[in-house]
Chains A and B, each alone.
Chain A
């Protein structure tokens, strides 16, 4: 092999290994930040028609979302603060009141409002509602299942 050819090959391998190393570091950091990120940032859920007098409880979720995530499973219930009795909400009967993103995969500011029928035999009182949701999130090559919980959502039934 000629000396000049050897020098060119050496320089080329230097550049490719440097670029590969940089790519590996960048991808690694991006993967860690993706896996550690919450589905919703600076977010909160609250009941918008407190105290509830009708047959529907209206919720609002505000916040922002960095990555594309699709909701795969959700569970929500309310616990009576005095008796400790638990009432599950039926998410199959959820109705959207306002949402620019019904499939739940857009990034940016999130402003969801939905209503759920009040569970039958739910007596008047003060409740703490909680919401558990599972998502499949996607970012570039990466995919990850994530969970986000919202607790202590004040709910008053009259």
Chain B
């Protein structure tokens, strides 16, 4: 289950990376061409950019919050498991020492 979720997060990070690399350049070039050829008014392009920026920021914010929450939960569980393992190793060591002392 965790593995599937981890793969999903990895894919999402890759998509965000691709989005961040391509979108600003594509938007800038498209807007410049459309405004230079007088197809779109610069005012509309500005508002489209502003709305796009706002939607991206809000989406990214919530995605980041949920991902961080998931990562912290995973980390806490891993830490708890490690503590258990550490305790079990200590118990085994104690048992072994007792056996050694008896023999």
Contact = CB atoms under 8 A, between A and B. Distances in A.
Contacts of A24: 24, 27-28, 49
A46 to B, nearest CB: 35
A15 B50 CA distance: 22
A48 interface: no
B58 interface: no
- Is the interface on chain A under 10, 10 to 19, 20 to 34, or 35 or more residues? 10 to 19
Contacts, number: 31
B46 interface: yes
A14 B21 contact: yes
Interface of A is mostly: helix
Interface in B1-54: 20-25, 27-28, 35-36, 42, 46, 49-50
Given A16-B25, A17-B24, A20-B25, A141 B35 contact: yes
A35 B42 CA distance: 12
Given A17-B20, A141-B35, A142-B42, A28 B25 contact: no
Interface of B: 20-25, 27-28, 35-36, 42, 46, 49-50
